[in-house]
């Protein structure tokens, strides 16, 4: 096997080694399988590893290389997949007992596209049940631990994918982001995570949580790797009516906006707010950009205080509608009872966890007769106002920079109060409500209990402005 620092091995570097014959696909796969065996019993990132299939696919790719075939861009790249993205013939549980025995009958569009580019799939990663959570504490199967401090959460709901990348148990991973579920765990674990523009990546084959907010995206070791993965994932798909292609004109002199409301955020009547040392890490990143040719200016997003109330009306409403399909009749868990209604009730009682039930109840309430306009209808109006905030901001600047989350990873059980958990979404949710792309990347660390915990900085761009995120992100990586 080639001698290399596999903890820093990127997609571009591995492809170069494969082309030179200094590394085989089988050797590349073995690096990550050995790392999984070494670390995952403690960290719990994976629900299942596809070891048998991996060896077969690695042998087939090595054979094609030996026969002189052109190496595809993602040939041999071992990617971990969140448990709510379908791979034909493999189980997909969405972290829930409700789908414990469900096997996917088709590939998600992103899986098909990445496979066509040569990628290999390592296994299914743990997640909060049906993507509802910010800590991966709400998985029905196990808790995933933060590799920087195993007493702390990795974030969620794509916690398993973030840990797999951060701990060197995958070169990259797929996650889904409804209110920050790629970016927040990326920030907690020290990885790069991208939530693309809504519609830029097909949602076909993603087990839905909230359909107007969900988006599949990559987690990676570098901005360049995230960019490469996104380039193969993006594009229109006839299986997803919301998918579309788009691009905005590039600018040479990128203006960066710093939202005053984010850096002064303090939840009314509560202790939660942006922690000073986290803000200092992000401020340092802003200073470095400013000192290296980027114009930075203060901007205003006046409806920031309404972001969380808006999101936590709209999201549960869509959850209650999407999860109504899980009734025990067509697929998934089925509990027998005397009447059809009793079967529904028993199946859902056993199949759904506490957080899922909470959000279904909230959603059913805000959609109920007499409350629809007061809650759901009003939240739709607020969402439009939040989108207008970004439209106005992007008339002044090209990229917006902010913290990804207000604090570093918290301890298991520390956020038993669901509202305290929800408040951590304050900086990530706006991008989902507006549908704009957002990227989180590491920008330093803060000390808690003698451990260095990663801090993430978030970059946001106009609709289909992912190229701007990658350009600024790669430059910031060089400067940090």
Catalytic residues: 82, 157, 181
The 3-class secondary structure across the chain, one letter per residue, is CCCCCHHHCCHHHHHHHHHHCCCCHHHHHHHHHHHHHHHHHHHCCEEEECHHHHHHHHHHHHHHHHCCCCCCCCCCCEEEEECCECCCCCECCCCCHHHCCCECCCCCHHHHHHHHCCCEEEEEECCCHHHCCCCCCCCCCCCCCECCECCECCCCCCHHHHHHHHCCCCCEEEEECCCCCCHHHHHHHCCEEEECCCCCECCCCECCCCCCCCCEEEEECCHHHHHHHHHHHECCECCECCCCCCCCCCCCCCEEEEEHHHHCCECCCCCCECCHHHHHHHHHHHHHHHHCCCEEEEECCCCHHHHHHHHHHHHHHHHHHHHHHCCCCCCCCCCCCCCHHHHHHHHHHHHCCHHHHHHHHHHHHHCCCCCCHHHHHHHHHHHHHHHHHHHHHHHHCCEEEEECCCCCCCECCCCCCHHHHHHCCCCCHHHHHHCCCEEEEEEEEEEECCEEEEEEEEEECCCCCHHHHHHHHHHHHHHC
């Amino acid at each position: 096997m080639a001698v290399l620092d596999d903890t820093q091995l990127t997609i571009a570097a591995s492809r170069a080694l494969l082309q030179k014959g200094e590394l085989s696909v089988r050797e590349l796969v073995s690096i990550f399988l050995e790392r999984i065996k070494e670390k995952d019993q403690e960290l719990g990132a994976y629900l299942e590893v596809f070891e048998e299939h991996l060896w077969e696919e690695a042998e087939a790719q090595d054979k094609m290389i030996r026969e002189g075939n052109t190496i595809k861009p993602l040939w041999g790249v071992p990617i971990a997949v969140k448990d709510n993205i379908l791979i034909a013939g493999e189980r997909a549980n969405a972290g829930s007992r409700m789908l414990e025995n469900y096997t996917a009958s088709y590939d998600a569009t992103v899986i098909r596209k990445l496979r066509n580019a040569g990628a290999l799939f390592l296994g299914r990663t743990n997640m909060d049940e049906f993507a509802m959570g910010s800590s991966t504490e709400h998985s029905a199967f196990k808790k995933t631990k933060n590799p920087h401090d195993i007493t702390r959460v990795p974030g969620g709901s794509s916690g398993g994918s973030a840990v797999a990348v951060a701990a060197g148990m995958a070169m990259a991973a797929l996650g889904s982001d409804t209110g920050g579920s790629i970016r927040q765990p990326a920030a907690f674990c020290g990885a790069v995570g991208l939530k693309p523009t809504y519609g830029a990546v097909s949602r076909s084959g993603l087990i839905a949580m909230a359909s107007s907010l969900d988006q599949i995206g990559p987690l990676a070791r570098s901005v360049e790797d995230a960019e490469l993965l996104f380039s193969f994932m993006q594009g229109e798909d006839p299986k997803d009516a919301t998918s579309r292609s788009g691009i905005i004109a590039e600018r040479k002199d990128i203006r960066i906006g710093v939202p005053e409301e984010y850096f002064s955020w303090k939840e009314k009547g509560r202790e939660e707010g942006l922690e000073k040392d986290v803000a200092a890490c992000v401020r340092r990143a802003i200073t470095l950009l400013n000192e290296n040719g980027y114009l930075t200016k203060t901007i205003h997003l006046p409806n920031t205080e309404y972001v969380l109330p808006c999101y936590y009306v709209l999201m549960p409403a869509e959850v209650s509608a999407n999860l109504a399909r899980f009734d025990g009749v067509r697929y998934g868990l089925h509990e027998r009872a005397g009447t059809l209604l009793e079967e529904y009730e028993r199946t859902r009682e056993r199949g759904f966890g506490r957080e899922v039930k909470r959000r279904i109840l909230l959603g059913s309430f805000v959609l109920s007769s007499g409350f629809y306009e007061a809650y759901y209808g009003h939240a739709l109006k607020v969402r439009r106002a939040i989108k207008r905030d970004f439209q106005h901001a992007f008339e002044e600047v090209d990229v917006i920079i902010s913290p990804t989350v207000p604090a570093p990873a918290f301890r298991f059980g520390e956020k038993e109060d669901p509202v305290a958990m929800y408040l951590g979404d304050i900086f990530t949710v706006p991008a989902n409500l507006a549908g704009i792309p957002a990227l989180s990347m590491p920008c330093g660390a803060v000390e808690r209990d003698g451990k260095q915990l990663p801090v993430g900085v978030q970059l946001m761009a106009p609709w289909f402005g992912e190229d701007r995120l990658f350009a600024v992100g790669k430059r910031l990586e060089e400067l940090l």
